[in-house]
Amino acid sequence: MLDFRIDEERCIQCGECVLECPAGVIAMDGHPKMTNEAGCFQCQHCLAVCPTAAVSILGRNPDASTPLAGNMPDPVHLATLIKGRRAVRRYRDKDLAPELIDHLLAVSCHAPTGVNARSVLFTVVRERVVMNRLREHLIGRLAKLKEGGELPEGLAGKYLGWTVSAWQEKGTDILFRGAPHLLITSAPAEAPCPVQDTHIALATFQLFAHAHGVGTVWDGICMMAFGVCSDVVGKLGIPENHTLGYAMAFGEPAVEYQRTVQRGPALVNVVQW
């Protein structure tokens, strides 16, 4: 039930919601009307575009949305965030406040998803003690595989083999880079764009986390470990029918970067048609 409602006192019959609806399911009949509930994919563009906050859908009160005018970050600061974000590999040995993690996830779930599926599952390690147990389990399994010569070629010497030896010889954590938390995204395999959705969700989380001074690192080593210890994914509570997106370690950084790096120019291919 979409619960599409128009506040007729506020509606100025401008037709913006009709023009904006990507599914074409709103029509003007005096005031806007929902013509096909099943065709709506619940993107809320009608609510977002209405100049007088007259549209409500899915029980959402438009007055509870954040107004955009004057509230957007300025491009200069946003560019600094994008260029100043680093893969953080040193973390403080403390948990983030659970409320902060909840806030990061509550905002990150606004990331776009194909056909507005919004089915990305955020699997999160919220406590260091859990992270420590997971690390112990995974590195223990990897060590046994390494001993038995069972690590896949290419991963044995380099990535996973190194993860085991660094931990055993120096107590250095290559698996999670010493981060207190882990975020893994997944989405039902039957979603229209499960791979893209999961990656976009993590990229969104990453930038928002950095805006809060929370460090993150995309964790390819963890993904490789899941690849060779695949039963662990299910034990983390990720449903069997889900496509695994990626893992990201995060927490309070124990490093402070002073300036952006200098990359570019962007590799650009201009289409000549």
Which residues are at the interface with ligand FMN (CB under 6 A)?
86-87, 89, 177, 217-221
**Whose Cβ is closer to ligand FMN: residue 51's or residue 257's?**
257
Q: How far is the CB of 137 from ligand FMN (least distance, A)?
A: 18
Structure-block tokens of residue 217? 């690192």
Q: What does 129-170 look like in DSSP terms, one character per residue?
A: HHHHHHHHHHHHHHHHHHHTT-SPTTIIIIIHHHHHHHHHHH
Q: Which residues pair with 87 in a beta bridge?
A: 216
The helix (H) or strand (E) run that includes residue 100 is: helix 98-108
The minimum distance between CB 273 and ligand FMN, in angstroms, equals: 32
Q: Contact at 8 Å (CB) between 122 and 200?
A: no
Residue 76 Cβ, how far from ligand FMN at the closest point, in Å? 19
Please say which residue, 139 or 221, places its beta carbon nearer to ligand FMN.
221
Least Cβ distance, residue 33 to ligand FMN (angstroms): 46
| Residue in the structure block whose two tokens are 């010497």 | 157
Q: Which is nearer to ligand FMN, 2 or 236 (CB)?
A: 236
CB 86, min distance to ligand FMN, A = 4
DSSP state of 207: H
For residue 97, the minimal CB distance to ligand FMN (Å) is: 25
Closest distance of CB 140 from ligand FMN, Å: 19
DSSP string, 4-17: -EE-TTT-----HH
Residue with smaller CB distance to ligand FMN, 38 or 266: 266
Rg (the chain; Cα; Å): 23
Q: Where are the beta strands (DSSP E) in the chain?
A: 5-6, 26-29, 31-34, 55-56, 121-125, 181-188, 215-218, 242-251
Instruction: Return the number of the residue (54 or 217) whose C-beta is nearest ligand FMN.
Output: 217
Q: Which residue is nearest to ligand FMN (CB)?
A: 220
CB atoms within 10 A of CB 205: 23
For ligand FMN, the closer CB: 95 or 219: 219
Pair of tokens at residue 193 = 């764009």
Cβ proximity to ligand FMN, 122 vs 226, nearer residue: 226
